[in-house]
Amino acid sequence: MGLHLTPEARAAIDAADVLLYLSAEPLADRWVASLHRNARSLVPLYRVGVEREEIYAAIVDAILEPVRSGISVCAAFYGHPGVFVRPSHEAIRRARAEGYPARMLPAVSAEDCLFADLGVDPAEHGCASFDATAFLRRPRPLDTSACLVLWQVAAIGEGRAVAEGAHGRNLPILVERLLQSYPPEHEVVLYEAAPYPVAEPAIERLSLSALADAVPAPQATLYVPPVGAAAGAPAR
């Protein structure tokens, strides 16, 4: 995570009066906290059984409360702050609507890491990227000649924060949908970016038919290569 922190983002952290942050890893959590004398984690706002929309609203309120007090705030999220981070977009929208200056800085997303780790060039065949739940709820024609990236496959249909071990229970529903367009033997990849510079990414290659029995990590992303193409470069 530290190597992905841009100089621009680090400057924003240093210039802020308070750093609010959300991390998915304990070690990364401690490292981010060490970057600022007034750092506060947003992780306690995630509570098992609570509706995600309620959690997101609480995160937005936690960001805006100090802003309204005239305090300079930097909110840091793991990955890219604008990719599947609804509270970041909403906090910026509301801050601007209330007359406060707010901006988002670019960063490295899990998809960027996926392209690098799997050796995938999204421009070669084209690429479609969806939240897995939205992909199922709003059926659309699939171009199987292009790459398909499905986010948050471990939380399909989950409107509430779930406990450890409950992830992926609705994965068979996604597999059933994909089997309408892809052959059962089509190789797919469950991917999770490396959380630390010394770690390797988690790359699990399996057939589409076997995916229904898989237990994805909470942060796993599903990569479905084009029909007739390999699922990417081998793991390092």
Q: What is the mean pLDDT of each run of 10 residues along the chain (236 residues)?
A: 84 97 85 93 88 93 97 95 94 98 95 96 96 91 95 86 65 96 97 86 96 91 89 52
Residue 223 annotated among the catalytic residues of the structure: no
Name the residue among 83, 75, 74 with its Cα closest to residue 113.
83
Same domain (yes/no): 87, 174: no
- By CB atoms closer than 10 A (0-12, 13-18, 19+), residue 201 is middle
Q: Which of 69, 97, 125 is the last residue of a domain?
A: 97
Q: Would residue 164 count as lying in a domain?
A: yes
**C-alpha–C-alpha distance, residues 181 and 1, integer Å:** 36
The residue from 30, 37, 46, 56 that is catalytic is 56
**C-alpha–C-alpha distance, residues 47 and 5, integer Å:** 28
The residue from 21, 30, 37, 78 that is catalytic is 78
CATH code where residue 219 lies:
3.30.950.10
Give pLDDT, residue 4.
86
Same domain (yes/no): 141, 52: no
Give pLDDT, residue 236.
42
Same domain (yes/no): 77, 178: no
Torsional class of 86: left (φ above 0), alpha (ψ -120 to 50), beta (otherwise): alpha
Residue 21 annotated among the catalytic residues of the structure: no
Q: Would residue 232 count as lying in a domain?
A: no
Same domain (yes/no): 150, 201: yes
Same domain (yes/no): 93, 114: no
Q: Would residue 104 count as lying in a domain?
A: no
Quote the pTM value: 0.86
Q: Would residue 60 count as lying in a domain?
A: yes
Q: Would residue 233 count as lying in a domain?
A: no
Residue 56 annotated among the catalytic residues of the structure: yes
Q: Would residue 17 count as lying in a domain?
A: yes
Range of the domain at 124: 110-224
21 within 8 A of 3, measured Cβ to Cβ: no
CATH code where residue 14 lies:
3.40.1010.10
Name the residue among 45, 95, 94 with its Cα closest to residue 72.
95
The residue from 21, 40, 46, 52 that is catalytic is 52
The structural domain count of the chain equals 2
